[in-house]
Amino acid sequence: MRKTISVRTTIVLVLTSLGLGIGATRLISGDNIFEDLNKFKDVLSLAQKFYVDDIDSKKLTEAAINGMLTQLDPHSVYLPPSTTKQEAERFQGSYQGVGLEILALNDTIMVSEPMGGGPAAQLGILSNDKIIRIDDSSAVGYTTARASLKLRGPKGTKVTVTILRSGVKQQLVYDIVRDNIALTSVDVALMITPEVGYVSVNRFSATTSTEMVAALGKLQGEGMKRLVLDLRGNPGGYMQEAVKMADLFLGGGTEKEPHKIVFTKARVPELEEVYVAQSGQEYEQTPLIVLVNNGSASASEIVAGAIQDWDRGLIVGETSFGKGLVQRQWDFQDGSSIRLTIARYYTPSGRLIQRSYDGKDAEAYREEAFTRNESEGDNLDHANDVRSKADSARPKFRTNGNRVVYGGGGITPDYIVKPGDLTEGTKDLLRRDVFYSFSTAYMDAQGPALRSTYGTDYQKFDGSFTVSDGVLNDFKAYVKSKSLTIADSVYQKDGEFLKARLKAYVARSLSGNEGWYSVMLHVDPQLKKALTLFPEAQKIAGLDKTSGSKKIN
C-alpha cells in the first residue's frame, strides 16, 4: 500500500492548533466564529446567573455540542469520556484484565468464552463456568457491566474468582493475575471445504491487517486455494487497515497508472489523500468472494468497493450500509472527544459510497439501510439494483472489466442473496436469547461427557454430534416453561436452523468461535450461494479455474 500524497506535517499543524484552541479557528471558519462563541458564552452565563433553578453548565455545554454536530451529518459525533475510553480499547486492540467474555443470565455471571492465551484461559477456566464471587464480594445479581468492571484492572494486579462448574462438587477458586488482553478483529479463520478458506472480520482496528496476514498464512498452510472474506456486520474502523487488507489482493498497476484502492476529497485540500496498491502480495492470484450486508459500512465498503471496481472477485449478499465519510477524532482534556467528518471517500472508479442524508433525522437515515426491498439473483450488470427506477438520477461508473456500477448508495452486490426467511416465532426466540440459556442448562448436564469425547476438536464435533429430536423436544418444553407460545409450524419450518443454533452454542462452549462458525455456516444461505460462484469469480478476475493463476494469452 502506498499513499501518493504526504500530508503528515500539515495535519499535525492543523490538529495541534485545534488541540490548543488557537489559530485553527481562522483557518476553518474565519472571524465570524468569535461572534458565535461570544453569543454561546453569553447565553450560558445568563442561564447560570438568572435561570429559575440551578444549572449544570457541563451538561448544557455537552448538549450544545451534540446539537451543533447533528446539524452537520449523521457521523459527526460527541463522545463522553467513558465512551471515548471504550472506543479506544475497541479499536486499539487491547485492554487490561483477565480475558473472559461474560454474560449475566438469571442473576448469574456466566463465562461465555475464555479468550485464548489470556490469563483466565491459561488457568483452566472454561465456557459455561459460573462466577459466584469476585474477590470478597458475591457476584450473584451482578450485571454484566458491573462484573466486567470488577474483573478489569491494571496489568500485574490480582483478582480472585470463585467458580461453580457442572460435574464438580466443590467450588473452584482461581487467583488470576491481570494482563494485556488482545481484542481480535478476526473472529475466525477456518477451512470450510478442503480448498476454500473462510475469514470473518468484525471491525478494522489497529491490529486487523496483522491478524489478517496471520489468518491467511494459517489457511494457506491448511491447503487454501480460494477464499471467502466475510465482512457482514462489520461497521468499519481505521481506513489505513482497510487499505492494507485490500492491498493483499490487488496488483499495483504501473508507475504511470497505479491501481487506486481509495481516495478522499475534502474542503481543506491538504487533507485529501490517495492510496494505491503495491504489487507482489502473496494473495493477488487467490480467487476471492466478499460477503457484505446492510451492516457492512465504511472501511468494509472500501475493501468491497476496491475488489468490485477492479473486478478482482465477486461481492455477494445485501447492499452495504452506505457510509462514505471520513472522520477524524479530537480528544479533550476531560477525556471526551469529538469525531468530525473531514472528507468523503471514493472507490477506484470514482464512486461516492455515501447515501444521501439530506432531510432525514439520524434514526430515519440509519433505518433506511435496513429496509431495502432487494430482488435476489445475478446482478453482475447491476440491473437488479434496488434503486433501478432511480438509477438515471444516480451517477454511473464502470469497473475495470467495463461492468456498470452505481454511486451514492453503498456497495450493491454482484449477486444479491438474502440471509434466509425465518418465521417470526424463531426471530422471537432469537431476540429473547433462549438458545443460550437452554444450552447452558444442557451443558450443565452433558458438558463433562462432551468434553471427554471431543475436547476442543471442532471438526470432530461438527462431523459426529447431532441434536436429536429428543433434545429438540426438550427445547420446546423449555420454551414453554418460559411462558412463550411458539406454534408447531415454527419448529417444522425452521427445524434445521433451530437444531444448528442449539448445536452451535454447544460447539462454542467446547471450542470457541471455530466451533460456532463451523456449525452455523452449514445453514447460511449467503455462504452456500457464494461457494457455487467461484467459477464466475475467477472468470471476471481473469484467473485460471484450476490453478488460480492469471491466464496467459
Name the nearest CA neighbour of 288 among 275, 302, 304: 304
Residue with grid cell 444521501, as numbered in its chain: 356
226 closest CA partner among 476, 534, 448, 549: 534
The span from the CA of 481 to the CA of 415, in Å, is 42
Which of the residues 130, 150, 244, 323 is marked catalytic? Answer: 323
Strand pairing report for 314-317 and 415-416: parallel
Answer for the pair 348, 262: CB distance below 8 angstroms, yes or no: yes
Q: Which of 205, 298, 336, 511 is catalytic?
A: 298
What cell numbers appear for 507 in the block? 460447539
The CA distances from residue 520 to 72, 353, 509, in Å, are 41, 31, 14
> Residue-wise over 468-505: b if at least 16 C-beta within 10 A, else e?
eeebeebbeebbeeeeeebeeebbebbeebbbbbbbbb
CA distance 414 to 216: 24
Per the CB < 8 A criterion, the answer to whether 305 and 263 are in contact is no
CA 162 to mean position of chain CA atoms: 33
Q: Phi then psi for 109, rounded to 5 degrees? A: -85, 115
E strands, 395-480, in order? 396-398, 404-406, 415-416
Q: How far apart are CA 177 and CA 172, in angstroms?
A: 16
323 counts as catalytic: yes
Which one from 179, 230, 247, 309 is the annotated catalytic residue? 309
Among 115, 109, 106, 117, CA closest to 163: 109
CA distance 416 to 375: 7
Active site residue 45: no
The pair phi, psi for residue 358, each rounded to 5°, is -65, 130
247 is catalytic: no
Helix (H, G, I), strand (E, B) or coil at 352: strand
Burial 23-57 (b: 16+ CB within 10 A, else e): ebbeeeeeeeeeeeeeeeeeeeeeeeeeeeeeeee
Question: Which residues belong to the active site?
Answer: 298, 309, 323
